[in-house]
Each structure stands twice: as C-alpha cells, then as structure tokens.
Chain A
Amino acid sequence: MSEDLLFELGTEEIPPAFLPEVAENLEEDLRESLKGERLDFGETELFYTPRRLAVRIKDLQERQEDRLEKHRGPSEGIGLDEDGNYTIAAKKFAQGHGATEDDLYLEETEDGTYFFVDEKVEGKKAGELLPDLLSSVTKNLEQPEKMRWDDSSVRFIRPIRWITCLLGSKEVGLAIGHVKASGITRGHRLHGSEQVALDNPGQYEEKLKGNYVIPDPETRLEKMEAQVSKVTTGVGASMASGQEFLELLSNTLEYPAIVSGSFPDKFLDLPAELLFKTLTGEARLIPLLDSEGEPISTFIGFRDGPGDETDRVKQGYESVINARLRDSKFFFSHDRERPLDEYLGELKSVTFQEKLGSIHDKVDRMRKVAEQLSSTLDGADAELADRTVQLSKADLVTEVVDEFPSLEGTIGAYYAELDGEPGEVVQGIRQHYRPRNTQDDPPENKTAIVASISDKLDTLLGSFIIGEEPSGTRDPYGLRRKTDGIIRTLIDREINLDISDLIEYAGTLYEMEGTGEAVESLKGYFRERLERVLERVYDIQYDVVNAVSTGEGLNFYDSYLRATALESFKEKQTMKNLVDSFTRIVNITEGREKGEVNPEVFQLPQEKDLWNRITEKMEVLEELAREQSYGEMTEEILDLKDPIDEYFDNVMVMADDEDQRENRINFLLNVKEPFLKLGDLSKIVTE
C-alpha cells in the first residue's frame, strides 16, 4: 500500500537568488530522511515560488516493513547455570526484547560465545513518522541565511506562514513553531483565495493555477519565455540581459504577466552597461536590443498577477524607470565634468586595506610591477600599460560606480574613451578585472593583461603579508579566484613567464615586516592552485598534474604545455614502458649527484648504443624543449625505449667494480636529463 505525500511550506517572499537552492535542499533532505526511516517512495517533484516551497512524493509506502533486530545478551557462562538451565539474567534479557528463553540462540563472537535474540520490530505507519520527520527536516534545512519572526525558536530563511501537508486524502498533523499544518493552501496574495482546500496531493498545481499561482518553476519560466518572444519577434528585438536574469525574475513571481513599456530615447545616449544596469538592477526590467545589437527604448517587465488591465502598471514602471534613468544620467554628466585623470588624487582618501594604505598607494605599487612585467612581455608597450594601470582605479571615486559598484572598470573605460585615451588603454581599463569569475574569460589585450596581473598580484601579496591568506573555506578577499585568474590568464594567453621573479620584485615594494615569508608562501600557494587549475579547468588527470608541477620555477604556461603533451600520450602502451624505464632510472640513481661519464670504459655494446643514441638526440631534445614542442619531444624520447630496455636487460648497473658502478650511475643520470624536461614521469600512473 502506498499513497502520495504533499508537503508545502508557505512563506513570506524568499529572495530569488536563494530560492532554487533552498528548495532543492528541502527535496534532497526529505528524500534522505525518508530513506533513513526505511520508507520507500517513487519519484519526487519539487515546486517553488517566492511564497512557497513544496515537495510531492509519489507512492510513499504506507508503513515501514516489520523487521528483526538482533540483540546481544549475556555470555554463555552467565546465561546458563551449572546444570545447563537458563539463568534469570538470560530470561530477563529475552523478555526485555519481547521474546522467551526459547528464542535465545548462541553465537561465537570475538569476545567469546554469547546469547542473542532477534526482536521483532513492527514497522511504523508513515503517518506517524511524518510529523517529526517533516518538522526536523524543516528546522535543520541548510539555508544561506536564517531569521526569527516571532517568539518561537524557529529560524528559517523567511517567515513560515502556513503548512500544507496531505498524505493521500488525509491531513498530516504537524506543527512548526506556531504554525499548524492543514490540507489548505493559499492562492495568490492579491488575486487568489486565501483558502484553497486540496482533497489530495494530485490537485496541487491545478487548484493553485485557478488561484493565480504556477508552482512549477519550469512552467512559469516557459510561460515568461513565450510572453517575451511574442513581444520581441514582432519588432525583431532580443533581450539584452541573459537567460539567468529571466530565471531570476521567474523566482520573484507566482503568476507572471508581461508588461512592456518604454522610456525616452534620450537615455539611449548613456553607456549601454549603465543603461542596462539601471533597468535590471534598479527596477528588475529587461532591456532590449534591436536586430543590429543596439539598445532600444522598449523594455519588458512582469507583473505578478493576471495579464489584463496592466496599463496602469505599465505607466507606473515607465515613470519609475524614467526617474531612475534621469538619476543615472545626472551621475554620468556630473562625472563627466572633468577628465578621468583628475580623479586620481581622490584615490588617496580611499582605503585599500587599513594596513596596506590607500588605493592610490596600491596603484603606485601596481605601476612598478607593471613596468617590470611589460619589460619581459613580448609585444607589451610599457607606456600604454603604465597609463592603463594609472587610470585603472580612477572610476572608484566616480558617482556612477558609487551607485553601481559592479560597473567598476566598465565606466572607467567609457570615461577614458571620451577623454581620448588610446584604444589599448581603454580596453585595458575595461578588461583588467577579468576574469571576474570562473566563467569569465581572462583579459585579451596586452595592456589589460599587464594591468590585471599587477592588480591581482599586489592584492595577493599584500594580503599574505598581513596574514589574510586563504585557509580552508575562509577566503574573504577572494584571493583564490585572483590566483586562479593569474594562472588562467598566463595559460590562455600563451605567456611564458616565471611568476616567481615578479612576486619577488613585488615583495620589494612593500617595506613591511614578514614580506620575505609572504613571498615564499605566495609562491607555494600558486603552486598549489596550479595543480587545482590544471585539473579542474583544463581537465588534466591528477597524476599528470603531479608529474608537471615539480621543479623550482612557476611558469604556468610551460607546465600546461607539458601536461597536455603527456596527457595525449598517456593511454599508449609505449608510455607505460617509458614510465617504467624512467622509474627504474629514478630508483637506481636516487640520492646521487650527476658526474662526468667516461665513454672510454664502456664494456658492453648496449652501453655504447644507448650513449650514442642519447648524445645524438640531445641537441634535438634541447631544441624541442626550447621551443616547448613537448609532444614531439615525447615522441623522440619514446624512440629511446628499445635501447633503454636493452640496456637494463644486459647491463648490471650495480657492478662490483666501483669505477664501473660510478660510471654507469653517472650514465643513467645523464639519460634522465631529457626526461626531466617533461616532468617527473615516475608520478604518472599507468595500468
């Protein structure tokens, strides 16, 4: 026997950014809890709107199966008296588990022979288990924030105002804080009924739909998409904001109805990002683009409720966005009363970090790092890079960035362009925060790369000096992301740079105690992150990662090239042989210093042969290593497989004769050299 279960938590508006996560946690925890209680069920369905989280569980087993629970009792010696009769202890034990002495049986255990009894535990009904189960799942639900709203001790993301819980057609009696569950849900706050009685879980969507609530998030989103395309296809427009924003909006609505309006054309002169940000951020409206990709003065918004008589709503949104855009325009024009570089002085009063000085101080340091970096970077123009870095933070004291912090960099670039700064500088300012997250691309042009690395490196080193390095999950300054950002930039933009030199140089710019240790520990941190980035971003297997991340230098691009080369050979049989030979060489030469090889004393043809092959190849290998053609280099080394095998099959390295032994070990240390250019091959796992 089984029945469907519906569990709905009615809440005050849950923030859209948290809603899906909280709902999914609820579904997951509920499933786990039911499994923990040994109650079988079929599929589960999840519903959510800003005002409700609901899970419907199909075919929930009516009661737990009966089962036998095995208990250990007294030992044989204590359970039986001298005559072999059951003692009182044995009888009591049996009774204690609802059995008689006849049910007792003996079993060997590690500690001796003991009496056991199998107790019959009757399965409980789902209806009896659910109240505690649901209440404890709710109270223990993992959520990004929790609050209190009355004098009960319940804490939840937002106030719980009603609970609907039906098992089949029966209400499940349950209370959380002051709220008691019933079979009655609520419709839309303004357009639906406050009491929507359900006869069974299956009616949930249908009954709610009649009360202006679409509880299924996908259905809601599809409805919005259909409404949007009705408006956009007519005029050949498209949404300027992405699908994610539409999804976010869908989580602010119970019953979406499109409202399309417009704003005065004069605001189209604003920088597109500022225009979009004003619409999306301040009013949750969707900006549109024409078929050429240019912004148009039509916007899309949604009303929560029926789609009729939305004229007044539209007027309201138009007047609000008009006022907001007027504000944005005011900030923009005010900012433009003077050129960007006149803002630089004000950076002195903006704290970067209390112990690390102002943003102005930071920019001074960045400029020096940038100078150093551009001198080693092909194609970087030191002057343009310096200008980029100098202006990169100026927009932090503009009114637009004060109002819209996420436009940092973007607005600075606009202003630089209007000031007539070179295109490289404009792009450099625009891109220097990149990559902002794991999905974001690293900067592209050279000045942006220089500015981006200088900026991130300065923050990293400064934070390490004041003891704010990331530990465990604690990373308040987003240093992990900045470190990964530098690594990805150097790899994706194919830049050969040993970052250790730059870190050491940056260290000299901080005249603070503990800089030396910070430099070293930052290098270690880069090495650690390189391994994670190669594995997670570039899909390199962990053993190959281990093989290439050894060595002193921190040239991420070179490590990446070696890793991809090795990775491409990894599945081949020859690779296995190579790794085996290498491991043999490593083992036999462990702890030895390389010395001169004397070919005069070779005794066996295999020695001579391998030596000739190696010396022959050495030049090519070195050339390939210089070119970082690690694929070809690997091929060349694979060529050596046969002579190496021959060598090991015939030559006794640990010869009795000391001179021979020394010479052979030196020989192998020389053979090892070219392998090491690729990495520590002994780390590679082969089947």
Chain B
Amino acid sequence: MNLQGLIAKFEEYWRKQGCLVIQPYDVETGAGTFNPGTFFGSLGSDPLKVAYVEPSRRPPDGRYGKNPIRVRQHHQYQVVLKPPPEKSQELYLESLEYIGIDLAAHDVRFVDDNWESPSLGARGTGWEVWIDGLEITQFTYFQRVGGIDLDPVCVELAYGLERIATFIQDTESVYDLDWNDQFSYRRIFQEKERQFSSYNFDLASVDDNQELFKIAEREAKKCLEENLFYPAYDMTLKAAHYFNILLARNAISVTEREKYIRGIRNLAEAVASQYVKSLEDTPDERRPII
C-alpha cells in the first residue's frame, strides 16, 4: 500500500469510529500534539474523538536528505479519544489490521515510555508500540496538558506514518517509499530535506531567530492580555518553531534552553487556562470543542 493510500485507510477507519476528521494545522508544529485538535481537544470535559494527519517539523532531526530513516519533517497520523474507550488498545490494534498488517504473524509490543512535553506543560503515561522491534506509534494516556490536570483524561495515538509505510512496503529508506503509484517520497521530499537542513543547520541567523522568538512571545502576551487565546496559541507555536531552529543551530546552551522552554510553557499554560475558563462561561451550543 502506498503512503497516500495508507492515510486514506486510517482516515476511513477512524471516521467509522466516529472521529471528527480535521486537517493539518497551517502553523509549523513539531508533533501532532501541537495541533489545536489535541492541545485544545484534550482540555475541557465534553467527550471528543478527533483525527488528522500532521506534518511534523523537527529541525534538529534533519540529515540533509542523506539518512535513510531520520528526517526533518515526518508525518504523524494523530487520534485523540476523550474519554478513552475501554477498548482503546484493541481499537488501535484493529486499525493496524485495517491497513492490512497481519498482527499474529509479527511481534507486537507495548514498550513503556512515558511522555512529557515540558514546553506544553504536558505529560502522560504510555508506551511506544513496537512491531518486530520497530517503533511505529506513541500510545499515551494524557494526564496533564497546559499545566492542567485533565478531567476526563484522554488517549493520544500518534502513528509514525513513514515508519509504518517502511514496514508495509519493506523498504530500507524512507526515500524509496511510494507516496502514490506514480511518485516516490524521494521526488516529493528529498530536495526539501536537503535545503531545509542547510538552512536550519548552517544558514539560519541566530540573532534574527532569537529576535523572531521574542517577537512571537511578545505578540502572544499581547493577545493573552485581550483574552485572545487562539491567536496567542499560534504565536506560541511560532515561538516553539524558532526555538527548534535555534536548537538545530546549536545556539542554545543548556541553561538557556531551560529558559526558552519555560517561556513557551508559560504561554501554553496561560492559553490553556484562558481556554478552560471560557468553556465554563459559554453555553453548550456555542462552546468550542477544540
């Protein structure tokens, strides 16, 4: 199965499970968790099932398009279920069978790996899911997001689409993957990987990105003063992205790193708390769900 077929199949499966299917976010994110569908979706007490693809940018992971498994941008298929159904694990495993993996012929493991995102003030208990030793999904019961203890909690499934495709198509390199029957992953992404790695590692101006970080932080705070938590959240994501570029540039010492992370977390926590507050004040029919 090619990659676009794989995405379509996941979408079909989770739509059948009653998920709200939304689109990737149009601000740079490092993982599906940063998409408002998960950040806001995990907060609040209204039941919600949501699913989407998320292109996830991680500048420090870039390898100029030369490493067969490490890439600057990969794709996650992200599902959030709140509250988690009793058969969360089974639903997940069924989704793998739905895309055509014969689980009984392999070795499937839930390997303990608790998740924490200091910059989102979030943490959860969960596992990496391994198939024959290959990590293909993060399966996490979120306990806390934006500094708020969730009630109810939710479960997040973050499928690594390239990993799963590599497994299904049995290729050594991501670039050999078929995106569809006509075009390979190479023709869509390899040159982008090279150029972005070059920019992120070598060219990006440290001073300017530090400045951009400060501007984003300032704008976010300004929005928060006006109780505009959605734009504030976009600015928070932008700040996180500039921080990632600075990381790739190796421009941040360990001490400074803590400071940056604390800065982003403060924004994320303020956004979360304004959002939750607004839910309490909004009547049912107008209350946002993500």
* Chain A interfacial positions (CB closer than 8 Å to B): 12-17, 50, 145, 147-151, 158-159, 161, 178, 189-191, 252, 259, 283-285, 301, 303-305, 309, 312-313, 315-317, 319-321, 323, 327, 330, 349-351, 354
Indicate if B255 sits at the interface (CB-CB under 8 A). Answer: yes
| A312/B127 contact (C-beta < 8 A), A161-B86, A301-B133, A321-B133 known | no
B interface residue numbers (CB < 8 A to A): 67-70, 83-84, 86, 88-89, 93, 103-112, 114, 125, 127, 131-134, 141, 143, 151-153, 155, 167, 172, 253-255
CA distance A303 to B72 in the complex (A): 32
User: Which residues of B have CB within 8 Å of A12?
Assistant: 89, 110
Q: How far is the CA of A316 from the CA of B167 in the complex (A)?
A: 8
A309 to B88, alpha carbons, bound, how many Å? 28
Complex-state Cα separation, A442 to B107, whole angstroms: 41
Task: Name the contact of B69 in the complex, choosing from A145, A285, A323 (C-beta under 8 A).
Answer: A323
Which chain A residue shows the least CB distance to B127?
Answer: A13
A-B contact pairs, 25 of them (CB 8 A): A13-B110, A13-B127, A50-B110, A148-B143, A150-B84, A150-B86, A151-B152, A159-B84, A159-B141, A161-B86, A189-B89, A191-B104, A252-B111, A259-B107, A284-B111, A284-B133, A285-B133, A312-B105, A313-B106, A316-B131, A316-B167, A320-B132, A349-B253, A351-B253, A351-B254
- Please, which residues of chain B bring their CB within 8 A of the CB of A303? 107
Residues of A within 8 A of B255 (CB): 349, 351, 354
Taking a contact as CB atoms under 8 Å apart, the answer to whether A15 and B152 are in contact is no
**A residues within 8 A CB of B103?**
190
User: B152 to A305, Cβ gap below 8 A?
Assistant: no
CB closest chain-B residue, reference A348: B253
Is B134 a contact partner of A316 (Cβ separation < 8 A)? yes
Q: Are B108 and A190 in contact (CB under 8 A)?
A: yes
CB contacts (< 8 Å) of B84 on chain A: these are 149-150, 159
Q: How far is the CA of A556 from the CA of B131 in the complex (A)?
A: 53
Q: A147-B125, A161-B86, A316-B107 are known contacts. Are A15 and B112 too (CB-CB below 8 A)?
A: yes
Contacts of A330 in B (CB 8 A): 67
Contact residues in B for A17 (Cβ distance below 8 Å) = 112
Interface core residue of B127, B132, B255 (most chain A CB under 10 Å): B132
Interchain CA distance A15-B114 in the complex, whole Å: 10
Q: Could you tell me if A178 and B108 are in contact, using CB atoms closer than 8 angstroms?
A: no
Closest-by-CB residue of B relative to A303 is B107
Complex contacts, A317 vs chain B, CB 8 Å: 107, 132-133
Among B70, B89, B109, B153, the residue within 8 A (CB) of A304 is B109
Please state if A320 and B254 are interface contacts (CB–CB under 8 Å): no
CA distance in complex: A349, B68 (Å): 32
Given that A149-B141, A150-B84, A150-B152 are known contacts, is A252 also in contact with B109, CB under 8 Å in the complex? yes
Q: In the complex, which residues of chain A have a beta carbon less than 8 angstroms from the beta carbon of B155?
A: 149
Contacts of A159 in B (CB 8 A): 84, 88, 141
Given contacts A304-B107, A319-B172, contact A151 B83 (CB under 8 A): yes
Residues of B with C-beta under 8 A to A354: 255
- Across the two chains, which residue of chain B brings its CB closest to A51? B110
The closest CB in chain A to the CB of B149 belongs to A148
A149, A190, A283: the one contacting B153 at CB < 8 Å is: A149
Structural contact, A305 and B111, CB atoms closer than 8 A: no
Provided the pairs A151-B83, A151-B152, A161-B86 are in contact, do residues A350 and B133 lie with their beta carbons within 8 angstroms? no
With both chains docked as a complex, state the minimum distance between the C-beta of B198 and any C-beta of chain A, in angstroms. 18
| Minimum Cβ distance to chain B for residue A398 (Å) | 14
Chain B proximity of A112: nearest CB distance (Å)? 56
Which A residues lie within 8 Å of B133 (CB)?
283-285, 301, 316-317, 320-321
Q: Which 10 A-B pairs rank lowest in CB-CB distance, beginning with the nearest?
A: A316-B132, A15-B112, A349-B253, A303-B107, A13-B110, A320-B133, A147-B125, A151-B152, A317-B133, A351-B255
- Supposing A150-B153, A284-B111 touch, asked if A316 and B106 sit within 8 A by C-beta, the answer is yes
Chain B nearest Cβ from A251, distance in angstroms: 11
Q: Are A190 and B104 in contact (CB under 8 A)?
A: yes
- Distance in angstroms between the alpha carbons of A151 and B141 in the assembled complex: 12
Q: Which residues of A contact B131 (CB under 8 A)?
A: 316
Closest chain A residue, CB of each to CB of B135: A320
Whole-angstrom distance between the Cβ of A308 and the nearest chain B Cβ: 10
Give Cα A321–Cα B134 distance, bound, in whole angstroms.
9
**Bound form: Cα–Cα A161–B167 in Å:** 30
Is B105 touching A178 in the complex (CB atoms < 8 A)? Answer: no
B172 CB contacts on chain A under 8 angstroms: 319
**Considering the chains assembled together, what is the distance between the CA atoms of A349 and B254 in angstroms?**
7
Which residues from chain B contact A285 at a C-beta distance below 8 Å?
Answer: 133
Q: Which residues of B contact A149 (CB under 8 A)?
A: 84, 141, 153, 155
Known A303-B107, A350-B253; further 13 A-B contacts with Cβ < 8 A: A13-B127, A50-B110, A147-B125, A149-B84, A150-B83, A150-B153, A190-B108, A284-B111, A316-B167, A319-B172, A320-B134, A349-B253, A354-B255
| Minimum Cβ distance to chain B for residue A220 (Å) | 15
Tell me how far the C-beta of A284 lies from the nearest C-beta in chain B, rounded to whole angstroms: 7
* Assembly CA distance A259 to B70 (angstroms): 27
Residues of B within 8 A of A13 (CB): 109-112, 127
Most buried by A among B109, B110, B133: B133
Contacts of B107 in A (CB 8 A): 259, 303-305, 313, 316-317
Q: Which residues of A contact B143 (CB under 8 A)?
A: 147-148
Which of B67, B83, B93, B109 has the most chain A CB atoms closer than 10 A to its own CB?
B109
Please name all residues of chain B whose beta carbon is closer than 8 Å to the beta carbon of A350 when the two chains form the complex. Answer: 253-254
Q: Tell me how far the C-beta of B134 lies from the nearest C-beta in chain A, rounded to whole angstroms.
A: 5
With CB as the reference atom, state the residue of chain A lying closest to B141. Answer: A149
Q: How far is the CB of B143 from chain A (nearest CB, A)?
A: 6
Distance from B289 Cβ to chain A, minimum over Cβ atoms (Å): 17
Minimum Cβ distance to chain A for residue B135 (Å):
9
Find chain B residues with CB under 8 A from A309 CB.
105
